C-alpha cells in the first residue's frame, strides 16, 4: 500500500530512513539511557487530510470521484482518539511523561493536511513529504497481527548471546523509516532488558509522535528510552549503526532499490547486528468473493511497485541474497493482512489505494476499475468482502563483530 510503496499519483514521496550523520539528532545518547529532547512537530499546513498508503494512496477514484471519507481517514474534522490520547498523556499510552520536552502542543494532536491530493504536504519546496499519520494509525493493528512472531525466538537467542554483552547493557535498536513508531510499540514490549530506540525518518512530524508514543517498559519491566534522527536512507553508512544491537524496519524494503538494500545489508553486516525487516509486500492479494478484474489489477499494481527501479514484490528475495552474501543466516515468514468486516475501514482505504496505483500504471483500466471499486466498496460496507494482502517478514542474523568466521 506505508506502508508499502510510495503513493500513486503525483510526485513520489521520498523514502524515509536513516543517514550516516543525522541532519537533526535529538538527545543522542549511546546505549540505553535518559531520553533525549523530543522536538515539537511543525505547524500543519492548510488543506484537507488525505491518508497516503505505502502500497498506493487513497486518491480520487479511477472514475474521477473523490472517495467518501471513512472513520480515521480523509475528511475528518475531529481529532482521532489515539492522537488526542498521546497529546493528553493518557495512562498506559507509552507517553514519555518524565521528559517535559515530550509535551505536545494542542495543535499537534491533529494530523498534517494537504490540499494537493498527492499525499505530500510541502509548505516549502525543500520540506520532506509526509505520509499521513491517520493512515499509519489505521493500519497499525493489522500490522501487529500480521508480523511473524516465530521469528522472535531466534532473534532473542542471538540478542542474548551477542559478544561483549554485559548483564547491565541495554539493547540499542535502530528503527528505519519509523513513521509513527508502530514497530517500536509492537516489538519493545516483546523483548526483555533495557532498550534504547533510535528512530529514523525524514518527517519531523512523524518522528515527534513516534517518540512520544514509544513504550516505556520492555517485557520484563526494564526501561525503554528513545531518540530521534531525521535523515535519508540513501545516505546510510556502517557508521550510522555503530553500537547497534538490532536494526528494524516495517513496510520499508519494497520501496527501496537493489542498491539501497545492498547498502543496508552491508551496514548491518559491518555492525554485526541482526535485522528484523517486516511487512514487505509479496505481490499476492486474495479477495473474496472473486472478481474477473482481480488478477489484472494485481499485475498492474505490482508493475507500479517496480517503477523507477524500486524492488516492490522482489524486495525480500533481493534482500535475502544481499544479507546471505555477507554471511548472514536469513529466515523468512509469511505475514499476511487478513481483513474482514471488523477491518472494513482499513480494507476500504487499502482498496482505493491499490486500484489507484494500478490505474496509474495502466490508464486503460480506468473505466472498468471505477466500476470495480464501486462494487468492491459496496461489498465492504455490507460486510461481505474478505481481503488477504500477503507480506513477508525477514530476519537476517548477521555474524556478530568479533565472532569466528
CA distance 399 to 405: 8
Residues 6+ apart with CB under 8 A from 232: 14, 15, 16, 17, 18, 19, 202
Q: Is residue 182 part of a domain?
A: yes
278 neighbors 319 (Cβ within 8 angstroms)? no
Lowest mean pLDDT among 25-34, 205-214, 302-311, 375-384: 25-34
Is the pLDDT confidence value at 11 over 90?
no
CA distance 84 to 233: 30
Is the pLDDT confidence value at 174 over 70?
yes
The tens digit of pLDDT for each residue in 312-361 reads 999 999 999 999 999 999 999 999 999 999 999 999 999 999 999 999 99
Of the candidates 208, 178, 182, 23, the residue with the CA atom closest to the CA atom of residue 107: 208
Q: Which residue has the higher pLDDT, 186 or 62?
A: 186
Q: Torsions phi, psi of 96, nearest 5? A: -85, 75
Residue 10's pLDDT band (cuts 50, 70, 90): very low
Lowest mean pLDDT among 31-40, 148-157, 246-255, 308-317: 31-40
Identify the pLDDT of residue 12: 26
Domain span at 44: 24-56+68-282+313-336+391-397
Is the pLDDT confidence value at 110 over 60?
no
Q: Is residue 341 part of a domain?
A: no
Of the candidates 246, 254, 252, 298, the residue with the CA atom closest to the CA atom of residue 273: 246
Is the pLDDT confidence value at 303 over 70?
yes
Query: Please, what is the Cα angle at 277 between 356 and 154, to 5 degrees?
Result: 145
Q: Is residue 7 part of a domain?
A: no
Is the pLDDT confidence value at 367 over 90?
yes
Q: Is residue 151 part of a domain?
A: yes
Mean pLDDT of the 266-289 span:
96
Mean pLDDT of the 285-313 span:
97
Mean pLDDT of the 249-267 span:
95
Beta strands in 223-349 (DSSP E): 224-230, 246-250, 275-288, 329-334, 337-339
Mean pLDDT of the 12-29 span:
33
Q: Which residue has the higher pLDDT, 397 or 104?
A: 397
Structural domain count, the chain:
1
**Strand-pair category, 329-334 with 337-339:** unpaired
2 neighbors 136 (Cβ within 8 angstroms)? yes
The tens digit of pLDDT for each residue in 201-255 reads 999 999 998 999 999 999 999 999 999 999 877 667 778 898 899 999 999 999 9
What count of residues does the chain have?
Answer: 405
Residue 165's pLDDT band (cuts 50, 70, 90): low
Is the pLDDT confidence value at 2 over 50?
no
Residue 265's pLDDT band (cuts 50, 70, 90): very high
Identify the pLDDT of residue 28: 31
Kindly write down the DSSP assignment for every residue of 370-400, as one continuous string.
HHHHHHHHHHHHTT--EEEEEEEEEEEEPPP
Identify the pLDDT of residue 173: 97
Computed over every residue of the chain, the mean pLDDT equals 73
Q: Give start and end residues of each alpha helix (H) in 272-400.
A: 294-305, 315-325, 344-361, 366-381
Q: Is residue 368 part of a domain?
A: no
Q: Is residue 306 part of a domain?
A: no
Identify the pLDDT of residue 164: 60
Mean pLDDT of the 85-99 span:
27
Identify the pLDDT of residue 401: 78
CA distance 266 to 272: 10
Identify the pLDDT of residue 182: 96
Q: Is residue 43 part of a domain?
A: yes
Q: Is residue 100 part of a domain?
A: yes
Q: 19 is written with which cell numbers?
A: 543517514
Of the candidates 308, 307, 13, 27, the residue with the CA atom closest to the CA atom of residue 177: 13
Is the pLDDT confidence value at 111 over 60?
no
CATH of the domain at 44: 3.40.50.150
Is the pLDDT confidence value at 404 over 80?
no
The tens digit of pLDDT for each residue in 55-86 reads 333 333 333 333 332 322 222 222 223 222 22
Amino acid at each position: 500500500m506505508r506502508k508499502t510503496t510510495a503513493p500513486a499519483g503525483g510526485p513520489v514521496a521520498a523514502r524515509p530512513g536513516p543517514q550516516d550523520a543525522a541532519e537533526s539528532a535529538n538527545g543522542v545518547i549511546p546505549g540505553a539511557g535518559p531520553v533525549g529532547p523530543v522536538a515539537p512537530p511543525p505547524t500543519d499546513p492548510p488543506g484537507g487530510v488525505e491518508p497516503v498508503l505505502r502500497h498506493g494512496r487513497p486518491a480520487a477514484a479511477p472514475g474521477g470521484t473523490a472517495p467518501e471519507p471513512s472513520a480515521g481517514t480523509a475528511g475528518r474534522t475531529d481529532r482521532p482518539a489515539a492522537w488526542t490520547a498521546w497529546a493528553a498523556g493518557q495512562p498506559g499510552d507509552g507517553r514519555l511523561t518524565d521528559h517535559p520536552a515530550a509535551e505536545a502542543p494542542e495543535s499537534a494532536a491533529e494530523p498534517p493536511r494537504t490540499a494537493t491530493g498527492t499525499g505530500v504536504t510541502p509548505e516549502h519546496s525543500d520540506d520532506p513529504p509526509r505520509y499521513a499519520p491517520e493512515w499509519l494509525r489505521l493500519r497499525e493493528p493489522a500490522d501487529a497481527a500480521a508480523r511473524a512472531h516465530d521469528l522472535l525466538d531466534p532473534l532473542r537467542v542471538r540478542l542474548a548471546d551477542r559478544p561483549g554483552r554485559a548483564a547491565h547493557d541495554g539493547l540499542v535498536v535502530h528503527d528505519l523509516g519509523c513513521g509513527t513508531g508502530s514497530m517500536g510499540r509492537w516489538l519493545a514490549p516483546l523483548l526483555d532488558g533495557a532498550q534504547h530506540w533510535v528512530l529514523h525518518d525524514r518527517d519531523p512530524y512523524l518522528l515527534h509522535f513516534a517518540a512520544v508514543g514509544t513504550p516505556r517498559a520492555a517485557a520484563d519491566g526494564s526501561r525503554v528510552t528513545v531518540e530521534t534522527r531525521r535523515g535519508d536512507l540513501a545516505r546510510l553508512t556502517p557508521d550510522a549503526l555503530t553500537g547497534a544491537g538490532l536494526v528494524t524496519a516495517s513496510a520499508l524494503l519494497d520501496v527501496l532499490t537493489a542498491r539501497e538494500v545492498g547498502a543496508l545489508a552491508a551496514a548491518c553486516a559491518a555492525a554485526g547486528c541482526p535485522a528484523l525487516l517486516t511487512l514487505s509486500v509479496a505481490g499476492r492479494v486474495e479477495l473474496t468473493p472473486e472478481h474477473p478484474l482481480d488478477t489484472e489489477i494485481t499485475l498492474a499494481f505490482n508493475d507500479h511497485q517496480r517503477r523507477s527501479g524500486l524492488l516492490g514484490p522482489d524486495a525480500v528475495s533481493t534482500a535475502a541474497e544481499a544479507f546471505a552474501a555477507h554471511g548472514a543466516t536469513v529466515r523468512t515468514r509469511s505475514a499476511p493482512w487478513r481483513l474482514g468486516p471488523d477491518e472494513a475501514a482499513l480494507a476500504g482505504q487499502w482498496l482505493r489505494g491499490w486500484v489507484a496505483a494500478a490505474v496509474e500504471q495502466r490508464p486503460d483500466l480506468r473505466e472498468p476499475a471505477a466500476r470495480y471499486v464501486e462494487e468492491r466498496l459496496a461489498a465492504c460496507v455490507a460486510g461481505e468482502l474478505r481481503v488477504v494482502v500477503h507480506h513477508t517478514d525477514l530476519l537476517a542474523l548477521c555474524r556478530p563483530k568479533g565472532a569466528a568466521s
